[in-house]
Amino acid sequence: MKNIQQLISILTEKEQVEFIQHLKKKNKTKDEKNIQLFKLILNEPYLNNYADKIYAERNKNAFHALSKRLQDSLVDFIAIKAFENENSAEQELFKKILAARILVDHQNYKFAFKLLKKAESKAKQLELYSILREVYITLLQFAHLYEKIDVTELKLKIAKNQQHLDLELRLQLVEAELKLSAKKNKILDSAYIEKLLQQHQIEIKEELTFKALLRLFTILDLKSQLESNYFANLKELEKLYALVHQKQHLQHRHHYEHLQILQLLSYAYFRSRDFKHFKEYLDKFEQLLEQNLPFRNQFDEDLFLLKAYYFNFTGKAPEAIPLLEAQKTKSFLPQLFLMTCYIQQNEIKKAYQTLQQLHKSDLWYAKHHGEIWVIKKNLIELILLVELDNYDVFESRLHSFQKKYYKKLQSTGNERVIVFSKLIRDFYLNQNFDQQQIKILENSVFKKEDIFMVCFYAWLKAKVESKDLYELTLNLISN
């Protein structure tokens, strides 16, 4: 049932109605058990006994077959809708290429050539390099039979097109390698990413397609995460977005990629504490999402989390907290930020209760969200244990944190996390600090790099100076 529920969640309300009509057309008899099952799963997703609702007598085999047919029908329908919405241009071009090949077989070279030239022009305009390859392959097939085909020129076009295809492949290789490393729970060195980009000869240039631009955005976002320094990569991100802006004639075909790019760019400005540009790109992200409701489920959490960030760090915590509390899924990143908001408002018990709702292991959270976020979770837990004056658990958690992460943090240049954890312990045990260590931390957080590091530092500073944490945080991030 889980697969069917996930497939149904992709459909908009309009598509749900269309799917029922699709099933009615497919059904060869008056038996509409597939429609009945679809409506049951749609309206009662947490039911455990769907089979009992469909069949008067328990029939496990029949229900399994029915479920399989419904799943296959959903897959077919989603694929059909995807072709309708996204691939109409590709379909038309493939039709032209296929027609041209048939014409070549019937020795109608002139008309075939004309069709292929139109396909070539359109494919170039839409940056469809794999289709261009098919156009050129077809032209090669009858180049010796039709004098208007300039083989020398064709060879140059093929070579140039191959460069585009190779670039796409190299970007895919870099992205795949990084994601695989992240999945294996490694804290990567940002220099390693630089080395990968250089090895694969990746650079920002106009020839990059929409999908290639998104891959570069994703890679730079990961690099910024590893360095905890989004500010350092903003210029490159802006260069990339300038190329996206130049491709306005293609944006109607790449709404999904454009949404991801706007989400990453608004997040980068948030982490850099540039709230003017953060709000500008957040508004663009929300407007584009409202125009593309089929993607709402995929981006809904990103949108409300970005809004919560904006509200909380522009002095509107009373708007941020209810937004986070209202989330239905209780997923990791929103819960993590809700804890941060509670701590800033001195709602320590609520923050700790939220922490206790994160039932999965650190290993699971690292695999699905990245080890950097798990480290932040551990630091928040240490802060809460200090606030609750739970010394025994604090010592245990700190020892576990040191054992698990100190070597990794040292090897990747994240010394300030180690410094911060030591300063928490010093404050808790005797409220004495190594002033040199405080300066290391203070100097790092005021290089416009990372808003979350400022939050951690603000908590420590508020404790030492007996100041209101939220007010102090807002003052520090505005520096």
Residue 333 CB-density burial (10 A; 0-12 exposed, 13-18 middle, 19+ buried): middle
What is the mean predicted confidence (pLDDT) over 431-438?
63
Instruction: Tell me which range, 5-14, 43-52, 238-247, is most confidently predicted by mean pLDDT.
Output: 238-247
pLDDT score of 440: 61
Interatomic CA distance for residues 181 and 391, integer angstroms: 36
CA-wise closest residue to 42 among 15, 72, 78: 15
CA-wise closest residue to 339 among 379, 386, 395, 390: 379
Our measurement of the distance from residue 23's CA atom to the centroid of its chain's CA atoms, rounded to an integer in Å, reads: 33
Domain boundaries, the chain: 2-86, 88-149, 360-479
What is the mean predicted confidence (pLDDT) over 434-444?
62
CA-wise closest residue to 134 among 96, 188, 190, 87: 96
User: What single-letter amino acid sits at 378?
Assistant: N
Do 442 and 450 form a contact (C-beta atoms < 8 A)?
no
Six token digits for residue 422: 């030591």
Tens digits of residue pLDDT in 319-328:
999 999 988 7
Rounded to two decimals, the pTM is 0.72
What is the mean predicted confidence (pLDDT) over 188-202?
69
Instruction: Tell me which range, 9-13, 210-214, 332-336, is most confidently predicted by mean pLDDT.
Output: 332-336
Using only C-alpha atoms, the chain has a radius of gyration, in whole angstroms, of 28
Show the DSSP H helices in 314-414 as ranges: 317-325, 332-344, 348-356, 362-369, 371-387, 391-411
Tens digits of residue pLDDT in 331-361:
899 999 999 999 999 999 999 999 999 989 9
Over the chain, what is the mean pLDDT? 84
Do 288 and 262 form a contact (C-beta atoms < 8 A)?
yes
**In angstroms, what CA-CA distances link 28 with 24, 32, 71, 278?**
8, 10, 18, 54
How would you label 395-410 residue by residue, b for 16+ Cβ within 10 Å and e otherwise?
Answer: eebbeebeeebbeebe
pLDDT level of residue 15 (50, 70, 90 thresholds): confident
Residue 144 CB-density burial (10 A; 0-12 exposed, 13-18 middle, 19+ buried): exposed
Six token digits for residue 302: 């990103």
Contacts of 175 (CB under 8 A, 6+ apart): 215, 218, 219
439 has a pLDDT exceeding 70: no
